[in-house]
A and B are shown apart, each in its own frame.
Chain A
């Protein structure tokens, strides 16, 4: 079973549409993340949730809204999609703190906005 799974794997859509990416982890972790990997391959953190509470919110347009219905799920909803939103989005989860924290990543969702 996949530890961190995200769907869909590929998402192609038109500018102005609203779309969602779902993420689920079956590791029992308390903390989940969304990262964005741009065309230059830079991975940047977007959000982090711990036990369904937002703990990290980087400078991300408010068109991006994460939702955590329970600690095993962290979905990412994007409104009014723009060309610049095209990227690979990675979900991740972790347990523990400090030196013992280890992130587990999903396989990514490639979003293409046309």
Chain B
């Protein structure tokens, strides 16, 4: 079985400060990892994903995440927060061919990011 834990349901930063949203996962097979963003009254949008290859993944809006297998982590970062980054962020894991979780996304409980002027 796979699971995702996001540390901190709320994160607050000042505009221009570093954004760090934490995500740890457990999976019986090497998973695919995702970060999604949800703006108010909208569906989830894919920010970035890790499948194979380079462990540092760059996404949209200046976000990036690093897959660390030894730490089973996939933390999301952005060097400088912008007011428009205020949203809820979800980490997700998905099994791939060979695992019992193939095709199913398992989400964390979300982290609300607040950006102060």
Residue numbers of A with Cβ under 8 A of B are 4, 31, 35, 40-45, 48, 55-56, 58, 90, 92, 98-99, 101-108
Contacts and interface: CB of A to CB of B under 8 A. Distances in A.
Contacts of B45: 105
B88 A41 contact: yes
Given A42-B107, A99-B51, A107 B90 contact: no
A99 B32 contact: yes
Contact of A98 (B9, B97, B107): B97
Contacts of A43: 44, 90, 92, 105, 107, 110
B104 A4 contact: no
B52 interface: yes
Interface residues of B, number: 24
Interface of B: 9, 32, 36, 41-46, 49, 51-52, 88, 90, 92, 96-97, 103-107, 109-110
Contact of B105 (A4, A41, A103, A107): A103
A41 B112 CA distance: 11
A40 B109 contact: yes
Contact of A107 (B41, B49, B96): B41
B86 to A, nearest CB: 16
Contact of B109 (A31, A42, A104, A108): A42
